[in-house]
Amino acid sequence: MKKLWYQFKEFFLNNPKAAIGMVLVLGICILCFFAPLFTDYLPNARIARPHEVPSADHILGTTRMGRDVWSQVIYGGRISILVGLVAGIFVMFMAMVVGISAGYFGGIVDNVLSFFTNVVMVIPSLPLMLVLASYLDQVSPLVIAVIIGATSWPFGARVIRAQTLSIRNRDFIHAAEVMGESRRRMVFFEVMPNMLAILGSSFISTVIYAIMTEATLEFLGLGDPLSVTWGVMLYNAQQTSAIRIGAWWEILAPSMALASLAIGLALVNFSIDEISNPKLRAQKIMAKFRREQAKEDKARQAAISTNKALEGVA
């Protein structure tokens, strides 16, 4: 246990970016999912006069409707994060099924699946989502998650397909084939574990993308205006012209929440890349090496000069 804790500490000390990212993401998740512990107000209750300036009681002020902004932010985060996760899982599932089958089975399966991937990829996803959402007329957050999932899988599918192709021709796969392993075992136990880093980082980027897109769709007025999410908060702020009246807290609060969650996730993702790509990591070791060498050089130079000075004295 102690050893594990030590390893943990070492890891985060060596990866300050990962540490900051994890703290941001975990902090926001805790605030959102234990929201009732951090606020006395319900997000949809009218508890004060409209557009109250932030004070000790309402630390982020109130909205046009007299609702507490802080409680809206932390309650709203729940839905935003859930939508991100649901859409992320949906996208990863589609991308994995399409990508791995196209890459592993090859031939006609690959041709058909790649064609569909490429077609969905060139149809721009945000306009397509706007069309879908406007036909469905003010959709709930869950439907938004499904729409995001259905339009955004091709990129991941392409990455995973390329990775599968490169793994497929390695020796251990041929060895496993010769040993007569079943196809299911091949896919799940031989191919998939070798792309965990890629799967992880594309999952996180999908979650970021989904959270941003959900906020965008809702900001554009395609969400359900009665639900409390960060996107709907921005939409309501825009609708009640918070900018023009100077109610900065109403815009700033959801913006900061969205931005810090996205930045936290991006930092985590960045360090996954760094850990899984040895070339990106090597430069860090090289930099350390160079610094140490420079120090040594300096020490040697100093030693030589003192020696010379001593010789001069002698």
Positions that interact with other proteins (CB under 8 A):
17, 115, 118-119, 121-128, 130-132, 134-137, 155, 208, 211-212, 215-216, 219-222, 231, 234, 238, 243-244, 246, 248, 251-252, 255, 258-259, 262-263, 265-267, 270, 273, 277, 279-280, 283-284, 286-287, 290
Write down the least CB distance from residue 123 to other proteins, Å: 5
Count the Cβ atoms, other than its own, within 10 Å of residue 37. Answer: 9
CB 283 to other proteins: min, Å: 5
**Whole-number minimum distance, CB 155 to other proteins, in Å?**
8
Structure tokens of 39?
């606020």
Shortest Cβ distance from residue 128 to other proteins (Å)? 6
* Ramachandran area for residue 267 (φ above 0: left; ψ -120 to 50: alpha; else beta): alpha
Closest to other proteins by CB, 79 or 267: 267
Q: Specify the residue, 82 or 191, whose C-beta has the smaller distance to other proteins.
A: 82
Residue closer to other proteins (CB basis): 173 or 238: 238
Using the minimum distance from each CB to other proteins, give the nearer residue, 277 or 306: 277
Closer residue to other proteins (CB): 7 or 277: 277
> Least CB distance from residue 262 to other proteins, whole Å?
5
Q: Name the token pair of 166.
A: 């490169």
Residue 64 Cβ vs other proteins, minimum distance, rounded to whole Å = 16
- 191 vs 201, beta carbon nearer other proteins: 201
- List helix spans (H) across the chain: 2-14, 16-33, 35-38, 69-105, 107-122, 125-136, 141-152, 154-168, 171-178, 183-185, 196-219, 230-239, 242-245, 248-276, 278-313
Q: What is the C-alpha to C-alpha distance for residues 43 and 297, in angstroms, rounded to an integer?
A: 62
Check: CB of residue 109 under 8 Å from CB of residue 102. yes
Q: Which residues of 210-246 are buried (b: 16+ CB within 10 A; e: fewer)?
A: bbbbbbbbbbbebbeeebbbbbbbbbbbeebebeeee
